[in-house]
Chains A and B, each alone.
Chain A
Amino acid sequence: MTEPLLSVRDLVVEFPTRRGTLRAIDKVSFDIAEGEVLGMVGESGAGKSITGSAIIGLIEPPGRIAGGEIWLRGHRIDNLPREKLRRIRGKRIGMVFQDPLTSLNPLYTVADQLIETIRTHIDVGEKEARRRAIALLDRVGIPAAARRIDDYPHHFSGGMRQRVVIALALCAEPELVIADEPTTALDVSVQAQIIDVLKEICAERGASVMLITHDMGVIAETADRVAVLYAGRLAEIGPVRDVIKHAEHPYTAGLMGSIPTLTQTSKRLVQIPGSMPRLNAIPPGCAFNPRCEQAFERCRTERPEPLARGGGRQVACWLYDRAEARHD
């Protein structure tokens, strides 16, 4: 087996507060293979974005990585000095954030921002950088790119701005793109366009993608594998088709049932009682046990670790533990 592009091992992210330390990410492990699109879903507060920020070393202090390791192509990156990490960020890992308005500098033209980024990471001259920037804008679908490159961000619509951000994330030819809710601020018709652009252009360049979103539909259309997070822990990870069609973790199953679809016929949606626990009140045992209909004694006391289920799938649930099966 080839080495994964990105490997996250037992990642722990903590935020010290006056009332004690909050664990936003609690021992999360996953890999992203070369050229793969890994979807990361979960509800607000599940730790999706924090995971992304941890990988690129952008966790806001006082938050910190309190444990675990992050490896990029066999090199450990979570303990690098700031200056070294800065060179990886942008060059080897590109980022697309949710709100295109805040990720572009309103005082510089798109050309300034693209050319600066290209020249920071790649050794080319001004002219060549500009030529590359125009080609890239053209590729992400901005009409009349050669003329529009000298416009300011406010001249572009929301969808076009997000295309510019994608161009910016890709201009240094990164190996991995972390896209954090790239379409959440956009309308559905534009969302479809942006997802297509992101998917195509990354496939073209062989870049892997970590797609963070709360929208299962976007994951279903885009990702190869999906990781489901709950209260900072990995609930389930596996190939998209398996997880969506045959969810094994009770949380994933509930989540899938609660999404209204365009074809379903039942009148009521599946309802998971309650809501996700706050970080300072995560129950002992499995974090999902108070909301889980299938919870039993062990779930309340012992935390389930991800169990391999074959086919590259892992589920953190005691229901699938062999020892439990024997009891039945």
Chain B
Amino acid sequence: MTDVLLKVEGLTRYFDVSKPWLNRVIERSEKQFLTATADVSFEIRRGETFALVGESGSGKSTIAKMIVGLLEPSAGRIDFDGQEMNFHSDAAMRTLRRRFQMIFQDPFASLNPRWRVGDIIAEPIRTFGLLRGPAVMREVGRLLDVVGLSASDVGKFPHEFSGGQRQRIAIARALSSRPEFIVCDEPTSALDVSVQAQILNLMRDLQDEFGLTYLLISHDLSVVRHMSNRIGVLYLGRLVEQADGKKLFTEPQHPYSRMLLDAVPDLELSGRRRRQVEGEIPNPINPPPGCAFHPRCPLAFDRCRVELPQPVPTPGGQAACFALKPGG
């Protein structure tokens, strides 16, 4: 048994955003591609929480979708438990799919409004043939109990629940196929803070109880810090820094990581004067040459404008920046 549960290597995904064929012919324009994810590599060890942070358009959700098999990568490979994911074999994907599940951002969109809660949670159990007959509903009741709802809720419809309760239902559904790995795509972004705290605590309890491995995707650095062991920072589809959870917050290496940390509003009222954040994320269809961050970077020099930096080791992980000396 390997320690690494999920390994991603050189993961890349393009989207064709060209105009329709006729327009291209008439306007003599080229095909256009948007690079959502470029050459992303990381490993997630069993039982840990790996987080991906980044702003909108940084490719977080694209990576999540590729890992759970909802999108096919344009290049690169994904190994789950030592086995390469084969997007062309339905049978192979099906056996893998039972072992990983996903929790989505919006619990109002991810639950079918016409289905009863019991059926929503039972579907994976039936699809994968894990249990039969009355045992299915007993299991559903147990799962509802586990996530803090009551077994008597099976007959209700999603609209009878609040946002936080719906996210609990989504978690129960994710747990029902007894997965080892759960991809959580912004699981609490649609929720109020007091409800967010309930869901984050629940996710932690479940991790301890079932030995789950999480890939947590979020734009909220404080949530990420609270939940994860290791963190990857994405900028325009590239992983600019990877670090151990606490290290990223005490000693951020990449200038983008530092900027993100500076931008988080300060609840401590320390009177810390944060550095003014410059500019916005560039258009991913035409990213700047060299390091994509250079137009906003206070440390940028000539080399950053032409050459793409490769990751170098840092005390807490690795970072792709020319301004860093290898080994910190």
Contacts and interface: CB of A to CB of B under 8 A. Distances in A.
A217 B266 contact: yes
Interface string A186-200: 011111110110000
B193 A220 contact: no
A18 B129 CA distance: 46
Interface string B241-274: 0000000010000000001111111111100001
B264 A262 contact: yes
A84 interface: no
Interface string A61-72: 000000000000
A270 B268 contact: no
Interface stretch (A29-37, A49-57, A238-246): A238-246
Interface in A207-263: 214-218, 220-221, 240-241, 244-245, 254-255, 257-263
Contacts of A254: 194
A90 B264 CA distance: 31
Interface residues of A, number: 44
Q: Is the interface of B mostly helix, strand, loop or mixed?
A: helix
A273 B225 CA distance: 23
A55 B305 CA distance: 51
A107 B200 CA distance: 43
Given A196-B276, A271-B197, A188 B219 contact: yes
Contacts of A195: 265
B137 interface: no
Contacts of B259: 189
B55 A261 contact: no
Interface string A267-286: 11111110110000000000
A134 B198 CA distance: 48
A241 B266 CA distance: 12
Nearest to B54: A187
B193 A214 contact: yes
Interface of A: 43-44, 157, 159-160, 187-193, 195-196, 214-218, 220-221, 240-241, 244-245, 254-255, 257-264, 267-273, 275-276
Contacts of B8: none
Given A44-B192, A189-B260, A259 B222 contact: yes
Given A192-B274, A217-B264, A259-B197, 18 more contacts: A43-B193, A44-B192, A189-B260, A189-B263, A190-B277, A191-B265, A217-B265, A255-B194, A258-B194, A259-B222, A260-B197, A260-B200, A260-B223, A260-B225, A262-B222, A267-B204, A275-B164, A275-B195
Contacts of A44: 163, 192
Nearest to A278: B162
B253 to A, nearest CB: 17
A240 B271 CA distance: 13
B264 A188 contact: yes
Given A220-B269, A244-B269, A258 B193 contact: yes
Interface in B280-317: 280-281
Residue with the greatest number of chain B CB neighbours at <10 A, chosen from A214, A218, A268: A268
B249 A262 contact: yes
A196 B273 CA distance: 11
B110 interface: no
B264 to A, nearest CB: 6
Interface of B: 55-56, 162-165, 192-198, 200-201, 204, 219-223, 225-226, 249, 259-269, 274, 276-277, 280-281
12 contacts: A189-B55, A195-B265, A220-B266, A254-B194, A258-B197, A259-B197, A262-B261, A269-B200, A269-B201, A271-B201, A272-B197, A275-B194
Nearest to A143: B279
A260 B307 CA distance: 38
Given A188-B260, A272-B197, A275-B164, A215 B192 contact: no
Contacts of B267: 216-217, 220, 244, 259, 261
A272 B194 contact: yes
B229 to A, nearest CB: 12
Nearest to A191: B263
Nearest to A269: B197
Given A255-B194, A262-B225, A187 B201 contact: no
Contacts of A193: 276-277
Nearest 10 pairs of A and B residues by beta carbon: A217-B265, A258-B197, A43-B192, A260-B226, A187-B55, A269-B197, A192-B263, A260-B222, A189-B263, A272-B194
Contacts of A259: 193, 197, 222, 267
A233 B48 CA distance: 42
Contacts of B263: 188-189, 191-192
Contacts of B261: 262
A239 to B, nearest CB: 11
A259 B266 CA distance: 12
Contacts of B281: 187
Contacts of B225: 260, 262
A188 B269 contact: no
Contacts of B196: 258
A20 to B, nearest CB: 19
